[in-house]
Amino acid sequence: MARAWDELVATARRTVADGLVVGTSGNVSVRVGDTVLVTPTGVPYDRLAPGDVVGVDLAGRQVLGSLRPTSELPMHLAVYDATDARAVVHTHAVHATAVSTLVRELPLIHYMAAALGGQVLVAPYATYGTQELAENVLRALEGRTGCLLQNHGTLTHGSSLSQAYDRTAQLEWMCRVWLAASSVPGTAPTLLSREQVAEVGERLRGYGQPG
């Protein structure tokens, strides 16, 4: 549990260092058994210490720590309930948030969309911390490991904090590429087909080193 908390804090701090969040915006969680460790609400990540651990059960009841959990807890718990996620990263990344205000799905600008399950959808806007937002996110995540939140930010999940974070970084990068390509007057970016992205998805199954 202590190691998981340390990794969670390190991941949260990385979202700030990499410019994916400002101040205390965004949040990170990791599931350890039937306990979900989550960043607390309103506390700068650089102030978090080992004794500040915050944990809830899968029903949202606090079982560890005295700091209040993130206001986005309903969204995190909904993802754990509906998927096999072991970690969730939510950010207010600049380019991804900008894209979320322009389209209903991120155009297929790059084949690495396959790493998120295909074309990334935009969850309709709802007030932060609400069950409505959690439900909108689940619909946008169906069959995928990442989505955009309209006028809000990003959410990705994975089998580990490092995987969830890498997916967030990849999503922000794709949004930045699309915005850059779309900004040239008189032209439109070439997009990939769903079939081309699906083919990459198959190839990614065997990507990396064995074992």
* Catalytic position from the list 72, 142, 172, 195: 72
The answer to whether 196 and 113 have CB atoms below 8 angstroms apart is no
**By C-alpha distance, which of 87, 82, 66 is closest to 12?**
87
One-letter identity of residue 200: V
Within 10 angstroms of residue 128's Cβ, the number of other Cβ atoms is 16
9-26: b or e for each residue (b if 16 or more CB lie within 10 Å)? bebbebbbeeebbeebeb
Residue pair 65/52 in contact (Cβ under 8 Å)? The answer is yes
Q: Residue 75 in contact with residue 83, Cβ under 8 Å?
A: no
Residue 195 annotated to the active site: no
What is the widest separation between alpha-carbon atoms in the chain? Answer: 57
Q: Known catalytic residues?
A: 72
